[in-house]
Amino acid sequence: MIREERLDWPNGAKIALSIVVNVEEGSEMTVARGDKGMEPVDELGIHIKAPIRNYGNESNYLYGIKAGAPRVAKLLRDYGVKASWTVAAMSLENHPEIAETIRDLGHEPVSHGWRWIHQFKMDEEAERAFIRRAADSIERTTGTRPKGWLSRYFHTDNTRRLLIEQGFAYHMDDYSGDVPFWDGETVPGRPIVILPYQLDTNDMKMWTDPAYTPAAWLDYARHSFDQLYREGERGNPKMMSLGLHLRIIGRPGRIWALEHFLRHVRACEDVWVTTRAEIADWFARAVPA
């Protein structure tokens, strides 16, 4: 028989909401950092496979730091919601004001790698060094060692084992459900919490599909929240992830959609808006491996 995933959140919460702010700006690919070519993820739609700089795209990423970040941080502060910031370590080194913002807000830094590059091409030793370097750097810039990890799209057969080896508490590279679960098979005797992430509610869709408007994104996000909230009211609480990017949702024509979503959430009772680290810690206590 098919069974629903089931968890009982603390204090009778009907839903756990995880807001994830991705910070990749300042670590994207460019020949200026020794890469073979330009960053292929480009709202401008210009990608040439040649060893030249795409100054336009680099400035579009910089918009996220200069203009997007203040808008996003203000909304999170105004609505009193805690977020998990999945940060490429180099981004914080190049833009320490973002690290300072995370510290000042009391939010959680999550490792998004040393740089926003494809770690799936690395051998085991290179990936081990990549993971360690990222964690060390984020601890220096934010004052907090990251407990969680999110790769750029793909991870390797070694990733989860290396995360366990280096003391990470949870892994986000999973899209298989709406509640946390344990991976006790990768390293027997040393389980790690898997906190599923979701792509369908991610603002990146407004970059990858120009026809996907902020109104459509907001409508989808609210419907996702409402459905999970109703399931919680029926006794089957779930977790929702909302993925954001400074250079995307931080635009003046999009930031309003985030504010409307937060206003909608705050109008509902028994919503646990929290960091992924707090969800992982609670799950580890409530559902021992």
Cα–Cα distance between 10 and 283 in angstroms, integer? Answer: 10
239 touches 18 (CB < 8 A): yes
Q: Report pLDDT for 45.
A: 81
| pLDDT tens, residue by residue, 44-95 | 888 888 899 999 999 999 999 999 999 999 999 999 999 999 999 999 999 9
The angle subtended at Cα 209 by Cα 203 and Cα 215, nearest 5°, is 55
Cα–Cα distance between 16 and 80 in angstroms, integer? Answer: 15
Ranges under pLDDT 50 in the chain:
none
Q: Report pLDDT for 255.
A: 98
Model-level pTM? 0.95
Q: Report pLDDT for 201.
A: 97
First to last CA, the chain: 24
Torsion angles phi and psi, residue 20, rounded to 5: -115, 115
Q: Report pLDDT for 162.
A: 97
Cα–Cα distance between 155 and 105 in angstroms, integer? Answer: 30
140 touches 164 (CB < 8 A): no
Q: Report pLDDT for 40.
A: 86
Longest Cα–Cα distance of the chain, Å, equals: 56
Among all chains, which residue has been given the structure tokens 């080194």?
Answer: 93
Class of domain 10-286: alpha beta
Amino acid identity at 124: E
Q: Report pLDDT for 4.
A: 66
121 touches 154 (CB < 8 A): no
Q: Report pLDDT for 116.
A: 87
| pLDDT tens, residue by residue, 206-222 | 998 889 999 999 999 99
Q: Report pLDDT for 8.
A: 86
Domain locations in the chain as residue ranges: 10-286
Q: Report pLDDT for 2.
A: 66
Q: Which of 122, 111, 118 is nearest to 29 (CA)?
A: 118
